[in-house]
């Protein structure tokens, strides 16, 4: 409705002082064609304190849309990298500040493009975890991806596989080459290997 009314962008304010993903692009926001930025209640307070003639900039990172074949390729590549002990992995713990988690994941994506995140179990051994106000692992995955300009390739109750195309010199020589229009991946997905890394679960599709 906002887009239909002629808006060129939208800012969504979380009533809680925590980061949000405004419109789950995988489940709810597939038809949104304008930039949408989510901010915390404390961010709104800062904006309210600005002078009338003071300019404020809000930035967002567009997220790449992957084809089914590209997702298959990245899942197979993650399996291969893990077998070769090359897959970057990181544990996401609810006790760690969101900004710190984002900075750490951003650094891994910057260097490697493909990252596997493991959700830390709570003290009762639950497979699901909340990161501050995030309700479940789907929200964690979406918030991380939307804030970092990454794409959720695959998730389970314990893992999140993220991809972000690298443009820096650091990944230039080892850049991931995705299948393009009509191409098939040369990698074969080893289902037995994927079960071993708990990668059988839910695929995010646009």
Residue 157 has pLDDT above 80, yes or no: no
Alpha helices by DSSP H, 11-125: 41-48, 68-83, 98-112
| Tens-place pLDDT, residues 40-72 | 788 788 777 877 777 777 666 667 788 889 999
d(CA 199, CA 125): 19
pLDDT digit string, tens, across residues 58-111? 666 667 788 889 999 999 999 999 989 999 999 988 766 677 888 899 999 999
- Residue 129 reports pLDDT greater than 60: no
Sign of CA dihedral 173, 100, 63, 153: positive
- The 89-92 sheet, strands edge to edge: 89-92, 114-119, 159-163, 151-155
Q: Pick the closest to residue 146 from 8, 39, 13 (CA basis).
A: 39
pTM (whole model) above 0.85: no
C-alpha triplet 13, 164, 139: angle, nearest 5°: 40
Nearest to 154 by CA among 131, 171, 138: 138
């Amino acid at each position: 409705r906002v887009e239909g009314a002629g808006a060129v962008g939208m800012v969504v304010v979380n009533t809680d002082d925590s980061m949000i993903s405004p419109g789950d692009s995988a489940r709810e926001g597939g038809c949104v064609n304008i930039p949408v930025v989510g901010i915390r209640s404390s961010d709104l307070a800062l904006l309210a304190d600005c002078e009338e003639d003071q300019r404020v900039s809000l930035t967002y990172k567009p997220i790449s849309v992957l084809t089914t074949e590209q997702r298959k390729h990245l899942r197979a590549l993650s399996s291969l990298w893990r077998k070769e002990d090359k897959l970057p992995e990181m544990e996401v713990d609810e006790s760690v500040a969101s900004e710190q988690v984002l900075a750490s994941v951003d650094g891994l994506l910057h260097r490697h493009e493909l990252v596997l995140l493991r959700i830390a179990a709570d003290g009762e051994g639950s497979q699901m975890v909340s990161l501050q106000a995030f309700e479940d692992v789907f929200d964690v995955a979406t918030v991380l991806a939307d804030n970092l300009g990454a794409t959720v390739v695959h998730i389970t109750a314990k893992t999140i596989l993220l991809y972000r195309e690298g443009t820096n010199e650091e990944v230039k020589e080892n850049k991931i080459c995705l299948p393009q229009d009509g191409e098939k991946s040369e990698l074969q997905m080893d289902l037995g290997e994927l079960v071993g890394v708990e990668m059988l679960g839910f695929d995010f599709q646009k």
